[in-house]
Amino acid sequence: MLNMQKLKSIDYKILAALIRNSKISDRQLAKDIGVSQPTVTRRRARLEKEVIDGYTAIPRWVNMGYEILAITLVKAHSSVGMRDNVEAARKRAVSWMMNQPNVLMCSGIRGMGRSGLMISIHKNYADFDLFISEHKRELGDLFTEIESALVNLGGREIIKPLHLKYLAEAE
């Protein structure tokens, strides 16, 4: 495993460039940051092995027919935290979540009196309603509370769209 202290300035420059445009060629990347193409190729391969989790496109959700981004917070039932129940509950949740292609992220959390977070996208409110009903049917016995905040992906309220490029711009 790569020690983050071993990352050099060039590695951060490569990462920032790849976050901005993962399709950039090693030749163009080398030209942009002022090093040789073999250096970029070697360092990029190392980063891909040890730091980069994958490449993906960030779509314009509305153009793909998605109207809603849902942020759902849950509070686990106290019995879930008992030693005998934790692993079984986790396995159930992982199994169900991994089969939901519209779930972008799911994680345990600390704070706000909640124990879990899920971020999902939906075509419309009816789609979200069906999804959350299925979620409650499949996993509801694990939670005492399930609350969602809905974001209108096509609305004028979006001030800064969801994108990783902002990380690269801070570089």
Note the pLDDT tens digit of each residue in 56-66.
888 889 999 99
- CATH 1.10.10.10 domain residues, the chain: 4-50
Percentage of the chain beyond pLDDT 90 is 62
- CATH 3.30.70.920 domain residues, the chain: 61-152
Residue type, 11: D
- What number does CATH give the domain 4-50? 1.10.10.10
3-state SS, residue 102:
coil
Taking residues 142-150, report their average pLDDT.
93
Q: Say yes or no to pLDDT of 4 above 60.
A: no
- From the number of C-beta atoms within 10 Å of its C-beta (0-12, 13-18, 19+), residue 10 rates as middle
Residue type, 146: I
- In sign, the C-alpha dihedral spanning 159, 164, 168, 171 is positive
Taking residues 24-51, report their average pLDDT.
95
Class of domain 61-152: alpha beta
Spell out where the chain has E strands: 68-76, 103-108, 116-122, 143-152
What single DSSP character describes residue 171? -
Instruction: Spell out the residues 6+ positions from residue 70 whose beta carbon is closer than 8 angstroms to its own.
Output: 118, 119, 120, 121, 122, 128, 132, 148, 149, 150, 151
Tens digit of each residue's pLDDT (9 = 90 or more) over 92-116: 999 999 999 999 999 999 999 998 9
Task: Output the average pLDDT for the chain.
Answer: 89
Q: How many other CB atoms are there within 10 angstroms of residue 117's CB atom?
A: 15
Taking residues 148-170, report their average pLDDT.
87
